[in-house]
Amino acid sequence: MTTHLQHNQERLLQSLLTGKLRNLAWSEVVELIGKVGEVQPHGGDEFAFEVGTQRAFFKRPHGHELELEEVSRLRKFLHEGGLYAAPSEPDQPGRMVVVIDHHSARLYQDLGGSRPEHESTLKPDDPHGFHRHLIHRKEAHYEGERVPEDTHFYEEVAKHLVQAQQIVLIGHGTGKSSAAEFLVEYLKKHHSTVARRIIATEMLDLSALTEPEIESIAKKHI
């Protein structure tokens, strides 16, 4: 029904259908409805809009733009007439910030802005860390041995990083005590393409790390 729309009209329609529009000029409304249906004068300032099997009456506003309530009513009318927003493409993360230790990894997707968005949390199969070599080694019954890393945990993190264009890692400790460094080596060995997208690694006190500080780190590495 909308294949004959010009690009700017298609964008206008999609914005209207998804509820992104708050201000809408009357001239744009008349032009758009004329493209997807019919507009018929009904005396004075009133017009009949027809889309699909639906017919509704709208009045020309006193100003140049429709009131918010009329925009909402127009959106509902278009939906009832069979028009719906096109499926949106899934957001692709530009930068991902990974806060990782041997207990869990927090991933923040930065979708074009500097503020980390869409936080998700991954945890190892033993979320309390009893099989990690830094914490509760004795309880894990690995006497005299270093507790092995759970590669499944790092593989799950890697899967979430595949679509990232840039990656910032935040961890603590060094060498074998650092989950961030282990992740780097794991990615180099098993996901070299992902590893090459790591633009920075920072070691901080994760117990005191706040959300604003994570946001600040994301901004610093733009």
pLDDT in tens, 36-58: 999 999 888 899 999 999 999 99
Give dist(CA 161, CA 167) in Å, integer: 8
Number of domains in the chain: 2
Give dist(CA 126, CA 77) in Å, integer: 52
Q: Is residue 88 part of a domain?
A: no
pTM reported for the whole predicted model? 0.49
Q: Is residue 86 part of a domain?
A: no
Are both 67 and 113 inside the same structural domain? no
Are both 76 and 99 inside the same structural domain? no
Per-residue pLDDT, 73: 92
Are both 57 and 99 inside the same structural domain? no
Are both 60 and 141 inside the same structural domain? no
Given 80, 104, 139, which residue is the final one in a domain?
80
Residue ranges of the chain with per-residue pLDDT less than 70: 1-3, 22, 87-93, 110-150, 174-177, 222
Main-chain phi, psi angles of 14, to 5 degrees: -65, -40
**Could you tell me the residue range of the domain that residue 75 belongs to?**
7-80
